């Protein structure tokens, strides 16, 4: 099974900052990497798929990059609504494992 | 609009069984694969199971393999997760989620979840 490792596990930032979250796969997954945002008490929501493609309606301050085993999610000019937990997930093969999450807090 | 509504959660004793349902609407059910994903209290997301749009392929996490069974009823536009021999560590919110179902795998819509608590 493919293991997904995110770093950091938590991150403190302020409105207006730029932050980067990293996700590493235990084996190559090409560009089959997805990012989700989860706000407290809510279901997750898709942000980015295939490493860098923004889902419909996702603001352009979110961006993703990477291929193979190393991927990043970058959020520029943080807004108050961006403080949430972020998860990566590999979409290469079943089981479609998630990273452990990165909590972004003020 | 796409809707996924889970039901069937509750409190069950260790070793017991539950069947979760996921009622789908707002899209052509027979064209989309569906996942189950769970989240234990205060923990991260754990992928649980997946069934292809036509039922021809199913897959499970190692943690539930042999205990959980995924199925779907096209006429009712409903997906199920039969959970047997439940353990305390199965306590979680269970989400039904739709796969994009194209040439790549990603979840584009999520239900609101149903809580399963395994406790004596």
Query: Other C-beta atoms within 10 Å of B83: how many?
Result: 25
Would you write out chain A's pLDDT as a tens digit for each of its 106 residues?
A: 999 999 999 999 999 999 999 999 999 999 999 999 999 999 999 999 999 999 999 999 999 999 999 999 999 999 999 999 999 999 999 999 999 999 999 8
Instruction: Tell me, yes or no, if B41 comes closer than 8 A to chain A by beta carbon.
Output: no
Instruction: Tell me, yes or no, if B106 comes closer than 8 A to chain A by beta carbon.
Output: yes
State the Cα–Cα distance between residues A98 and A85, nearest whole angstrom: 13
Question: Given an 8 Å threshold on Cβ–Cβ distance, is A91 in contact with B111?
Answer: no
**What stretch of H or E contains B106?**
none
Question: Given an 8 Å threshold on Cβ–Cβ distance, is A87 in contact with B108?
Answer: no
Which range among A51-55, B33-37, B55-59, B101-105 shows the weakest confidence by mean pLDDT?
A: B101-105
A8 cis-preceded (ω within 30 degrees of 0): yes
Question: Given an 8 Å threshold on Cβ–Cβ distance, is B106 in contact with A44?
Answer: no
For A50, residues 6+ apart whose C-beta sits below 8 A from its C-beta are A31, A32, A33, A34, A91, B104, B106
Q: Where are the beta strands (DSSP E) in chain A?
A: 4-7, 10-12, 19-25, 33-38, 45-49, 53-54, 62-67, 70-75, 85-90, 102-105
Instruction: Tell me, yes or no, if B44 comes closer than 8 A to chain A by beta carbon.
Output: yes
Q: What is the dihedral of CA B61, B65, B69, B74, to 10 degrees?
A: 40
Instruction: Tell me, yes or no, if B98 comes closer than 8 A to chain A by beta carbon.
Output: no
Please tell me which residue of chain A has the smallest CA distance to B5. Answer: A43
Residue holding tokens 């979250």? A21
Residues of A with CB under 8 A from a CB of B: 1, 32, 34, 36, 38, 43-46, 49-50, 55, 85, 87, 89, 91-92, 94-101
Nearest to A100 by CA among A83, A79, A86: A86
Please tell me which residue of chain B has the smallest CA distance to A46. Answer: B108
3-state helix, strand, coil in chain B (%, to 5): 10, 50, 40
Residue holding tokens 């239900």? B111
The mean per-residue pLDDT over the stretch B5-22 comes to: 97
Looking only at the bridges linking them, the beta strands covering A10-12 and A102-105 are parallel
State the Cα–Cα distance between residues B7 and B16, nearest whole angstrom: 17
Q: How confident is the model at residue B19 (pLDDT cuts 50, 70, 90)?
A: very high
Which of helix, strand or coil describes residue B95?
strand
In chain A, which residues have their Cβ closer than 8 Å to the Cβ of B105? 32, 91-92, 96
State the Cα–Cα distance between residues B118 and B120, nearest whole angstrom: 7
Query: Average pLDDT over chain A, rounded to whole?
Result: 97
Residue holding tokens 């199971």? B49
What is the predicted pLDDT for the residue at B84? 98
In chain B, which residues have their Cβ closer than 8 Å to the Cβ of A100? 44
- Decide if pLDDT at B102 tops 80: no
Please tell me which residue of chain B has the smallest CA distance to A9. Answer: B44
What is the predicted pLDDT for the residue at B81? 98
What is the predicted pLDDT for the residue at A26? 97
């Amino acid at each position: 099974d493919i293991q997904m490792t995110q770093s950091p596990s938590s991150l403190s930032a302020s409105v207006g900052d730029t932050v980067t979250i990293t996700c590493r796969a235990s084996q190559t997954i090409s560009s089959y990497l997805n990012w989700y945002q989860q706000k407290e008490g809510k279901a997750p929501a898709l942000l980015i798929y295939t490493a860098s493609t923004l889902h419909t309606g996702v603001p352009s301050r979110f961006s993703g990059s990477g291929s193979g085993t190393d991927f990043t999610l970058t959020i520029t000019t943080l807004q108050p609504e961006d403080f949430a937990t972020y998860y990566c997930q590999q979409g290469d093969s079943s089981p479609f494992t998630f990273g452990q999450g990165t909590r972004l807090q003020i | 609009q796409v809707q996924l509504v889970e039901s069937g959660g509750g409190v069950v004793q260790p070793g017991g069984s539950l069947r979760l349902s996921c009622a789908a609407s707002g899209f052509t059910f027979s064209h989309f694969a569906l996942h189950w994903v769970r989240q234990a209290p205060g923990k991260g997301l754990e992928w649980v199971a997946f069934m292809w749009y036509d039922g021809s392929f199913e897959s499970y996490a190692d943690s539930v393999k042999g205990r959980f069974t995924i199925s779907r009823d096209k006429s009712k536009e409903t997906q199920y997760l039969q959970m047997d021999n439940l353990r305390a560590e199965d306590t979680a919110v269970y989400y039904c989620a739709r796969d994009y179902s194209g040439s790549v795998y990603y979840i584009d819509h999520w239900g609101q979840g149903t809580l399963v608590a395994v406790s004596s």
